[in-house]
Chains A and B, each alone.
Chain A
């Protein structure tokens, strides 16, 4: 039977967390289907260094592509690796991370193989599908579940006819779990030249800086914002912790910035950044009009405030009457308890 494949993303010789999360999910899908889980790692000087980061997740076969031109990642050589490997191995499912690399690579591979690709899935399941138009039923399809339409609907996508069924998933959506530290998987060192013609190495990486990302308030789907009511710079640490578990960004009101609790580039409002996240969690923010101007178009607004008459409460979908230091740890605790 055709296997489930996971493309493992590498930074140097380190396997990305998202790939390990997908290997864990891929193992479960492979078990449901009764097939093997296979992984692909492409990079430079990786042989002997990546196996122990991949096999323990229950990988039956690991294909290693080790050549100088494969790191750092560029689009065409990695596309050639996957396209030619998939033509040979005919996987039924292929998963990759929905980050810059996966979102650069996935569409190219799907375009070359004419297979369906669903971006940014939040859940993956196996199930049947009935096509009422042609009266066909399909067993064991991959349900690719994702929010769509600006997050206003959740759609389940299937690829009935084309293979592989491809999906990307964001980091942190799935949970990474080692299946067995001594899991015995086969390692295949592939001959890169057979898969990647010399002409594919077209992009030259002239310069590369990877560092702690600056904030991404504008693009963040969830924002945890703190105001004067957070009380101190240390109080913001709690917000960072909540933001970390929710995969959110931290923002601040002008009052909090002026008081020195948060950096200026985190300021949301008329004179700061205007944001439209799906969820805005306002912690100890009273809701001056200048602040509201910068966040009123947020999808769902949750206000945590000890003052039940805070102006921000009038535009909030949920108002939690309580102090930030009391409520935020509870949000973290119950999110961890209920998710995954």
Chain B
């Protein structure tokens, strides 16, 4: 039995390692100070997909990521670790999407690239939004069942998958018919590392979006390689490629609007020294509550 597995992955700013320069003096996010990384729980998701590939020869693991050209890095990284290929879903029309417009775009792309998918696996949530919404929203849009907070895939047979998942204060073992959508917890098995041979094989993989303006694969230093090895050209999909309804994409397709944003200013580590007096402790608590640091 071989399976068609799609992994949903996202490139995110590394919000866990926020330094004092994460915010500009004007109070906006200083993106250049935050490295772009593979969303951590999407790596846990990839590992679950690769384990099924190990178990069922002939299984394909394909990554779908939505973002600008540089997000193709996520596809390459997944290929270094064992994924077969991927698609970069990229279009200006997708800009400003909230979770609902994002899941619409992803669901539309999934129908386009793999209408007979067996399993869709993504991380539980992305660290830049922490919403955990896109997985279930994609499942609903495709009319598929979902298993969220997955800890481990226990078995897959006779068109059914058995999964151990986290619930509040415990664990649950559930069985669902395929196809379905899984979202995987950060506490699940970590992703296997890169494989050196795969890195050598796929390091020149590029999505057309990553090329400099007005250039094609034929203009690249290793142009003949791209002729001989079609897998070096990563899949790329625009809004039109997947026949997405513009009204449901990007800002236009997003019911939620950001009314305003307040910054929590991160100070350099200049310690504020307090005594253990009632007055000092009370003042600290009030300060932390006012800045939404606690509470």
Give chain A's interface residues, CB within 8 Å of chain B.
72, 74-76, 79, 99-101, 103-108, 110-112, 114-120, 122, 129, 131, 143-144, 147-162, 202-213, 218-219, 222, 246, 276, 278-279, 297, 299-300, 302-304, 308, 313-323, 326-327, 330-331, 334-335, 337-339
Q: Closest A-chain residue to B282, C-beta based?
A: A334
CB-CB contacts below 8 Å: B4-44 with A: 13, 15-18, 22-23, 29
Q: Does B216 contact A (CB under 8 A)?
A: no
**Chain A residues within 8 Å of B257, by CB:** 129, 131, 157-160
Instruction: Give the B interface residue count (CB, 8 A).
Output: 80
How many angstroms between the C-alpha atoms of A117 and B256 in the bound complex? 7
How many angstroms between the C-alpha atoms of A313 and B288 in the bound complex? 18
CB-CB contacts below 8 Å: B134-175 with A: 134-141, 145-149, 162, 166-175
Q: Does B295 contact A (CB under 8 A)?
A: yes
**Contact for B148 among A100, A302, A334, A338, CB less than 8 A:** A100
A322-B275 in contact given A75-B146, A209-B170, A317-B269 (Cβ < 8 Å): yes
**Contact for B139 among A108, A148, A315, A335, CB less than 8 A:** A108
> Separation in Å of the B253 CB from the closest CB of chain A?
9
How many angstroms between the C-alpha atoms of A304 and B263 in the bound complex? 27
**Contact for A327 among B132, B134, B148, B276, CB less than 8 A:** B276
**Contact for B136 among A75, A147, A153, CB less than 8 A:** A75
**Chain A residues within 8 Å of B289, by CB:** 335, 338-339
> Separation in Å of the B76 CB from the closest CB of chain A?
25
> Knowing that A160-B257, A326-B276 are A-B contacts, what are 14 other residue pairs whose CB atoms are under 8 Å apart, sorted by A's residue number?
A107-B132, A111-B138, A114-B100, A150-B18, A154-B292, A155-B259, A206-B162, A208-B171, A213-B170, A219-B186, A331-B284, A334-B285, A339-B289, A339-B295
**Contact for A320 among B141, B171, B281, CB less than 8 A:** B281
Q: Does B215 contact A (CB under 8 A)?
A: no
Contact B133 A208 (CB under 8 A): no
Contact A319 B273 (CB under 8 A): yes
Contact A129 B259 (CB under 8 A): yes
**Of B85-93, B122-130, B195-203, B223-231, which stretch is located at the interface?**
B122-130
